[in-house]
Amino acid sequence: MNNQWRTVKVLWLRLATCLAVLFGVLASSGIEAGDDPLDWPNWRGPQKNNVSMEKGLVESWDPEGGPGSNLLWKNDELGGRSTPIVMNGLLYTIVRDQPGTEFEAEKVVCVDAATGEKHWEYRMNLYLCEVPDTRVGWSCCTGDPETDRIYVQSVSGYFCCLEGKTGKLVWDRSLLEEFGLINTYGGRTNVPVIFEDQVLISAVVVGWGDAPKFGFLARPAHRFMSLDKATGVIRWMNGTGISPYDTTYSTPVVTVLGGQAALVFGSGDGEVWALQPRTGQPIWHYPLSRRGLNTSPLVEGNTVYYSQSEENVIGSTMGALVAIDGAMTGDLSGKEKWFVPQIMSGKSSPVMVDGKLWTVDDRAKLYVFDPETGEQLDKQALGTAMRSTPLVADGKVYTCTNAGRWYILKPTGDGVEIVHKLRLGGDNDGSPIVSHGRIYLPTSDTLYCIGDTRVTPSADPLPPQPQETPVDDDSQTALVQVEPYDVLLAPGGKQSYHVRLYNSRGQFLRKAAASEVSFGVDGPGSVSADGTYTAPAGNEHQVALVTCKVGELMGTARIRVVPPLPWSFDFNDDEDVPLTWIGGRVRYVLRDEDGERFAVKRDVLPTPKDPHNKLGTRSQLTMGPVDMANYTIEADFALDEQDGKLPDFGLTNSRYSMTVRPMNEELRIYSWSPHDYRTNASVEFKPQAHKWYTMKMRVDPVGSKAIVRGKLWPRGEAEPEDWTVEMEDFAPNLFGSPGLFGKAEVAEIFVDNIKVYPNQ
């Protein structure tokens, strides 16, 4: 750790005394412990608009440090893409762990916010991951002041809840293996949001269920998942338009619009959406772009401001800044308050500064607008590229371009004054934040802590937040929510359900009483009058819906039933691939040829927008529980050929992949695809088109390592005695769902005779 320019201890003691007095006043005024108004528990701050009420902040600093520099400390270990957060005296961020080595992973690091000294770190292996190492740490931690817990989403789709003080794991979910989250080479990863007793997270998801009653979750969409923040149990899932353009990273704002709680965000389908945060039901949507949206919305009163830098829905111009009346409902196409085209602000989110709307475009050009009319008031060049969002605090604006040009700015009526500027080493992707008089700025090289120890931290009161229409104004039940919404059970397994009732505005009314609930089952299994579902016995891979009727309203919950090993899938008596497979239906179909039925990974996935769509032809498929270990998977496969090109195909086992890569003429085993140094092994192999092969993969967890081995031979020939390729991983994945990988953009993939069984 590189901690420089630590403050004299006596000054910190004086500061601590002042803070103790401040907190004493807060406690006496009824503010709960943990709700420190000077904390910054999410990357956009307590008001979720990158605005701080703190006063007395620095107007200059020197990154070289020394007396009078206002550099309190810097820590090179904390350099990266992520914006840090501060809660209860601790700073949290996400960075690369052991970069450029065979052990590289992603990790959460917690340090003392005042000194930069490390308290703990939590390592997250990256598995089944298409994200390059330079984009690790894309997301940000989110803190929950009520529980002092931290929520984190890794770039590979691992999602966890950690104790803030210790880093101890509370619960975790594998969003890729359990629900079909897509991670991509672009690295775009969403940030969790806390609302009441929920934590909300989103991604492009391709799950199971290709029929309306299952929610069409087998079709790709940008979907939100609501989880009980205490347990990780899924409460609801809902999405935007089917077949989105991109994965995106727009952080939502939970606010109140027109008296209704609203989750407002930019979606992968190119629209700005508002959903009810307790139910996931849509309130309104506004088509904006022909690509996915990445900036975060700015909400002022009932007005939602949004910016983007891709092609607009109407016309051929690129980029726009728009104001939307968020109190409206339904399809808001053409109903914007104002629209300014050709503002290319697709990464840095807009902020409100002294009553004026500021936005920095992708080329680091700062624009100032009248928020009522959209009239441009000023424009100033700051640099050549922009990724982060400015911090508004103490009558100033703190911002840094992607190339490391740092500015402290002041509004001057309709214009801008440069108070301070300098050049930093490294790139800047994460945004500056402030907490307790200290400004934190991440770069790719380090994390800076900036402040003046002679100034006692203080802040103006937070402005009052908009209030929902009282729930008593509408006590009529409009929606029945069955919890948990999605589970996986073994044959004979049991799951208890309870039912929540909501009004038309998505406000919680009550838990349904047993006397008003009628449970049923659509599919195999049974459910008792008290809402306990029992899965059927046997060895079938099955799905079911628990139904719950309250009056004339119906709610449902989804169930997969997956038996223990061994499994065998030859498809001869099947109409489709198993419904229990995550990412199976739609992407794979069954075909009869030469008296044999087999699965085909399609090379075209038509959508209403594009009948020749190739998005999704590269994908993962998972088959079972994430805690499976000590097993072998094998399958027969053949590769089609188009224009002299063959597709990639592979097996997954315990979060490792074994893939045939015809263009590279290799058979490779790995856990992190684009990483050249993370443990992997490969041998030369050049497959022939239309020739059937058998592939076999085994993973043995042995103490603190995993032994990963694979074989490949022509189908119908004797299995070779020796393994074709093998490796030992000393940063191991010890468990994970079996599955398939296919990259079928260039041609189809044929798969048959899949077997999964315990290691022998």
Cβ neighbours of residue 96 closer than 8 Å, sequence gap 6 or more:
80, 104, 105, 106, 107, 133, 136, 137
> What does each C-alpha distance from 572 to 257, 301, 640 come to in angstroms?
54, 60, 21
Cβ neighbours of residue 340 closer than 8 Å, sequence gap 6 or more:
320, 321, 322, 369, 374, 376
Q: What is the pLDDT of residues 454-504, one digit of tens each?
A: 999 999 999 999 999 999 999 999 999 999 999 999 999 999 999 999 999
User: Which two tokens mark 149?
Assistant: 């817990």
Q: What is the pLDDT of residues 31-68, one digit of tens each?
A: 233 479 899 999 999 999 999 999 999 999 999 999 99
Cβ neighbours of residue 721 closer than 8 Å, sequence gap 6 or more:
none
- By C-alpha distance, which of 378, 377, 422 is closest to 399? 422
**pLDDT at res. 653:** 99
**pLDDT at res. 289:** 98
What is the widest separation between alpha-carbon atoms in the chain?
Answer: 84
Fold of 9-459: Methylamine Dehydrogenase; Chain H (2.130.10)
Query: For 567-758, which CATH class?
Result: mainly beta
| Domain range list for the chain | 9-459, 471-561, 567-758
DSSP state of 344: B
Q: What is the pLDDT of residues 387-433, one digit of tens each?
A: 999 999 999 999 999 999 999 999 999 999 999 999 999 999 999 99
* Ramachandran sector of residue 215 (left: φ over 0; alpha: ψ -120 to 50; beta: rest): left
**pLDDT at res. 608:** 80
Look at the block and give the residue holding tokens 């009056």: 551
Which helix (H) or strand (E) segment holds residue 193: the answer is strand 193-195
| Cα–Cα distance, 411 to 180 (Å, whole number) | 46
Which helix (H) or strand (E) segment holds residue 176: the answer is helix 175-179
**pLDDT at res. 200:** 99
| Cα–Cα distance, 437 to 456 (Å, whole number) | 7
Between 17 and 84, the more confident residue is: 84
Cα dihedral 33/37/38/40 (nearest 10): 90
User: Which two tokens mark 307?
Assistant: 């910016």
> Which amino acid is it at 146?
E
Q: How far is residue 351 CA from its own chain's centroid?
A: 23
Q: How far is residue 191 CA from its own chain's centroid?
A: 5
Torsion angles phi and psi, residue 77, rounded to 5 = -65, -25
| Cα–Cα distance, 128 to 582 (Å, whole number) | 14
pTM for this structure?
Answer: 0.94
Query: How many residues are given for the chain?
Result: 760
Cβ neighbours of residue 21 closer than 8 Å, sequence gap 6 or more:
none
> Which amino acid is it at 254?
V
Q: Cβ(659)–Cβ(650) under 8 Å?
A: yes
- By C-alpha distance, which of 731, 163, 227 is closest to 483? 227
Q: What is the pLDDT of residues 665-682, one digit of tens each?
A: 999 999 999 998 999 999
Q: Kindly provide the b/e burial profile for residues 515-534, where b requires at least 16 CB atoms within 10 angstroms of the residue's own CB.
A: eebebebebbbebeeebebb
Q: What is the pLDDT of residues 287-312, one digit of tens each?
A: 999 999 999 999 999 999 999 999 99
Look at the block and give the residue holding tokens 């009980």: 228
Fold of 471-561: Immunoglobulin-like (2.60.40)
In terms of DSSP H, where are the helices of 8-144?
A: 9-28
Q: What is the pLDDT of residues 119-177, one digit of tens each?
A: 999 999 999 999 999 999 999 999 999 999 999 999 999 999 999 999 999 999 999 99
Q: Cβ(382)–Cβ(364) under 8 Å?
A: yes
Is the model's pLDDT at 180 over the cut of 80? yes
* Ramachandran sector of residue 704 (left: φ over 0; alpha: ψ -120 to 50; beta: rest): alpha
Give residue 20's pLDDT band: very low, low, confident or very high (50, 70, 90): very low
- By C-alpha distance, which of 551, 483, 555, 553 is closest to 522? 555
| Cα–Cα distance, 287 to 272 (Å, whole number) | 6
| Cα–Cα distance, 350 to 366 (Å, whole number) | 10
Which helix (H) or strand (E) segment holds residue 177: the answer is helix 175-179
User: Which two tokens mark 665?
Assistant: 């003429």
Q: What percent of the chain has pLDDT over 90?
A: 92
- The DSSP line for 275-328 is E-TTT--EEEEEE-BSS---SPPEEETTEEEEEEEEEBSSSS-EEEEEEEETT-
* Ramachandran sector of residue 496 (left: φ over 0; alpha: ψ -120 to 50; beta: rest): beta
SS3 content of the chain, % helix, strand, coil (to 5): 5, 45, 50
Q: How far is residue 75 CA from its own chain's centroid?
A: 26
Count of C-beta atoms within a 10 Å radius of residue 350: 26
Mean pLDDT score, 540-545: 98
Torsion angles phi and psi, residue 472, rounded to 5 = -65, -20
| Cα–Cα distance, 716 to 696 (Å, whole number) | 14
Mean pLDDT score, 326-337: 98
Q: Cβ(225)–Cβ(201) under 8 Å?
A: yes
Is the model's pLDDT at 18 over the cut of 70? no
Q: What is the pLDDT of residues 571-629, one digit of tens each?
A: 999 999 999 999 999 999 999 998 999 999 999 998 887 888 998 899 999 999 999 99
Count of C-beta atoms within a 10 Å radius of residue 6: 13
Look at the block and give the residue holding tokens 């300098």: 422
Q: What percent of the chain has pLDDT over 70?
A: 96
Mean pLDDT score, 698-727: 98
What is the rounded end-to-end Cα distance, in angstroms, of the chain? 46
Give residue 247's pLDDT band: very low, low, confident or very high (50, 70, 90): very high
User: Which two tokens mark 583?
Assistant: 């990412």
| Cα–Cα distance, 725 to 708 (Å, whole number) | 8
| Cα–Cα distance, 205 to 234 (Å, whole number) | 14
Q: What is the pLDDT of residues 186-242, one digit of tens each?
A: 999 999 999 999 999 999 999 999 999 999 999 999 999 999 999 999 999 999 999
CA angle 531, 532, 535 (to 5 degrees): 130
Is the model's pLDDT at 331 over the cut of 60? yes
Q: What is the pLDDT of residues 653-662, one digit of tens each?
A: 999 999 999 9
Q: Cβ(140)–Cβ(440) under 8 Å?
A: no
Look at the block and give the residue holding tokens 């006590």: 475
Mean pLDDT score, 268-289: 98
